[in-house]
Structure 1
Amino acid sequence: MPFNIWCGGCNSMIAKGVRFNAEKKQVGNYYSTKIWSFTMKSACCKHEIVIQTDPKNCEYVIISGAQRKTEEFDIEDAETFALPADEERGKLADPFYRLEHEGEDLQKKKEAEPVLVRLQRVSDARHSDDYSLNKALRAQLRNQKKRVAEEEFVSKKLGLGIRLLPATEEDAAIAARMKFSSKFERNRKEKRALINAASIFPGSSGSSLSDKKRLELGSKRRKIKAGTASELLTRGFKPSSWLKSSVSSSQSRGCQWLQDTSR
């Protein structure tokens, strides 16, 4: 399809560039150029569409079965040139019209000529020595590769997975103005002690205590545990009543067994 069209059967759009299996036949001549007709069926509703070539205007014409989609565009957005209208073309062919506007064209040429000359000189100066330009470019690439390798080495040394940008004076000034609080370590220890002293059961009676009381209770518990451990180490281990009863029962059983064997 040479352009976007609306199908005459179901009113759906058929985009430009869609291929069809068409029946091609000659329907006439424009001087010595043949006029071809293409008959095809749309894929959406099997509606028959007929398109012919127009050698006079160098385009295609829809004969039946469809309607061409009207599209408008801005010349600047499309980055194209506007062709002169038929009237302008006729004026350019008129010698009197060209004579009247020849002075304006020459004036525009004189105004633009110095700029063109300067641009040509700059271009010649830049591209006069290819060897020096190539040498400068290769040196720039070598320096860039060296800088990238140094940045990657520094990032690997710091254990980072990304490449750091080079330090600037602004970064150094900001780093010098940064001051860290000296109470950070103490606050961290207090929070850690508070977490250790807190109860693991939600809604307990200890949860209503304040943070200071929890810290005090935790310190007291640690002191009590340390005191009991030192007493056990210095005075020795005292067996409990259950252990004493188990030892006495085992001794009595041993004596009873000896008496039975002697009999």
Structure 2
Amino acid sequence: MGERKGTNKYYPPDYDPKYGGLNKFLGTHALRERARKIDKGIIIIRFEMPYNIWCEGCKNHIGMGVRYNAEKTKVGMYYTTPVYEFKMKCHLCDNHFVIRADPANLDYVIQSGARRQENRWDPTQNGQVVPETKETQKRLFDDQMYKLEHGTQDKNVSESVKPQLVKLFNRNEDAWADCYTANQKLRAQFRKQNCEIKAQKAKDGLLLKKSSLDIPLLEEKEEDKKMAHLLAMKPIRSVEENLEERRKMLLSESSLPTSNFSRKKESNAVKYLKSDRLSLGIVKKIVTEKDNVPKSSTELNTKDCAKRKISDCDTTTENKIIKTSLVGDYGSSDSD
């Protein structure tokens, strides 16, 4: 309504035409509040966002076409075209961002406060029709031979993309031949997605209520599950203690096969290893073959038995050999 005040038809009784106009007579500007910084070279205009941006203050997305009251300032010239700069405040936070016009590239450049959402690509990579440059247009107008060659290239390109166009056309016809069925499938897919979203929201709500939290929950990932599982284990001992225990266990284990080894056999082997040389398998002949005359029981006195380290002396046997087998005793299951 401020713009209409300068264009109304009412003139007060004390109006003097010598002032040159009603605005000059009232001492106001035609733009009213939009020209409050006109002495600094700034005017307030309605600026429409030329593309999608991300605000660096609140990290929110601002879509293309959103309008703001922007401060318009002339900052330079590009040949004979003025270069303007627009400063505006984000409607979601207190951040200000500055956008400058770029007449050379027919675009706008963000100076500060925001960053552009990159949706640009090379149209030639997508098979789009690219307008000709001014140099090409001028050469097409002047050089007839180049125009003929350029036309031949265009025909070759159109012939090469015909199979792809036919496939796209057939696919479109197959997909939308029955509009009701296609719409029904699409709506069924949307209903399924909505049910999954509602179920997930209910699950998140129960978890937040149980934890007494009021924060938005992100989507659960496999890495988060693994990390939570590792944190929930709460190990009592450190890694060094576990390694030391494992080292002791390996040292205490026997190198023999476990199928034919037992604690009883181990104790039996230790007993044999601690015994004297005679019990380790050293053979000694008590009576040789040359001695044809057997010795009586009186001749084998206690001194001879003690000298030969024999606990039991049999006088009826002519040739007596004492043998011990460590391997046989160690491999047997009996202790004696």
TM-score (norm 2): 0.28
Higher helix share: 1
